[in-house]
Amino acid sequence: MASIKAKSFRLALLQLGSLTSSKTNNIAVAKKAVVEAINSTPKPHLIVLPEIWNSPYAVNAFREYSEKIPQVGTKWGQLNEGEEGETVKAMREMARDNQVWLIGGSIPQKDEKADEIFNTCTVYDPEGTLVAIHQKVHLFDIDIPGRQTFKESDTLTGGKSLTTFDTPFGKIGLGICYDIRFPEMATIAARQGCVAMIYPAAFNTTTGPMHWTLLQRARAVDNQIYVAMCSPARHPEASYQAYGHSLVVNPLGDVLVEASHEPTTIYADIDVEMLNTTRKNLPITIQRRFDVYPDVAEKFL
Ligand SMILES: NC(=O)CC(=O)C(=O)O
């Protein structure tokens, strides 16, 4: 597990602004930001959108904005009209038209059979094939009186599995926002050989200043991987004030790049040699004492 065979790559986090209650507007905003990122130099290999970017981040909106998501492996043009939601179709186009890997943030997903709604991240390869689906495992149910109360479980169901996906530049692990507070997910992904954990996210103006940077640095240092979180920009009229501050941290825990709360795109180079050097110099990945405590990744390896 010490060193990882992968290629270095460039990551772009799209901290989308001007998101409204119009899904059509939000799709147009995302499409434009993807095109702008792809025209930057050097070109990013992997583009990330934020959590719940096509809908308001509000428990009473998730059902109305929810969409059908097809199975992993469905290719561009394989489905008939109506077999997948309009946001999913748009994300396929963003990936295919720009020949780029896309982590499509998250959108509310409708599971008609079970009558359930999930907070779901989809990933597309440069051909527009849906290659991974992650349903937010840990629902954001918190109550900090007078400051921040939110109960995703009022309308959402939690996912039941962990998600990684392979790219030509290495294996990537996925989580969504609150998932980062549960360290096992990142540890399992790292033990499976991921170079990075990427979380579409939307912390708020209470929990953001407390824990946003700390959690990412902790997950990075504990697991000697890259960690990134992509947030929407703050929106003064929204019922939920996103923290912004999209961020990328390296395996030493250094913040490589951080946005403010304004709409912007940030870029970072994921340097696999740096990851391997960190693991060689501080060899914690081969010093674990599984004779003293269990390996949380074991049943997933
Ligand atoms: N919005 C979330 O899912 C999580 C969050 O804001 C926090 O953990 O704080």
CA of 278 to the centre of ligand 1 (A): 29
CA of 163 to the centre of ligand 1 (A): 19
Q: What is the pLDDT of residues 206-228, one digit of tens each?
A: 999 999 999 999 999 999 999 99
d(CA 202, CA 176): 9
d(CA 301, CA 270): 24
Q: What is the pLDDT of residues 161-195, one digit of tens each?
A: 999 999 999 999 999 999 999 999 999 999 999 99
Shortest-distance Cα residue to atom 8 of ligand 1: 178
Identify the weakest region by mean pLDDT among 151-155, 235-239, 249-253: 235-239
CB of 131 closer than 8 Å to CB of 91: no
The predicted model gives 155-166 an average pLDDT of 98
CA of 221 to the centre of ligand 1 (A): 21
Global pTM? 0.97
Beta-ladder partners of 226? 196
Mean predicted lDDT score pLDDT of the chain: 96
Q: Which fold has domain 9-300?
A: Nitrilase/N-carbamoyl-D-aminoacid amidohydrolase (3.60.110)
3-state SS, one letter per residue, for 4-15: CCCCCEEEEEEE
Shortest-distance Cα residue to atom 3 of ligand 1: 178
Find the distance separating the first CA and the last CA of the chain, reported in whole Å: 12
pLDDT in the model for residue 175: 98
Ligand 1 nearest-atom number relative to CA 204: 6
Ligand 1 neighbours (beta carbon < 6 A): 140, 177-178, 181, 202-204, 207
Shortest-distance Cα residue to atom 5 of ligand 1: 203
CA of 105 to the centre of ligand 1 (A): 15
DSSP 59-114: TTTHHHH-B----TTPPTT-S-TTSS-HHHHHHHHHHHHHT-EEE---EEEEETTT
Ligand 1 nearest-atom number relative to CA 152: 3
d(CA 296, CA 222): 14
- Inform me whether the pLDDT recorded for 264 exceeds 80: yes
Q: What is the pLDDT of residues 101-144, one digit of tens each?
A: 999 999 999 998 889 999 999 999 999 999 999 999 999 999 99
Ligand 1 nearest-atom number relative to CA 211: 9
The ipTM (two decimal places) reads 0.98
The residues carrying an active-site annotation are 51, 136, 177
- Inform me whether the pLDDT recorded for 1 exceeds 70: no
Query: Domain residue spans in the chain?
Result: 9-300
Ligand 1 nearest-atom number relative to CA 210: 9
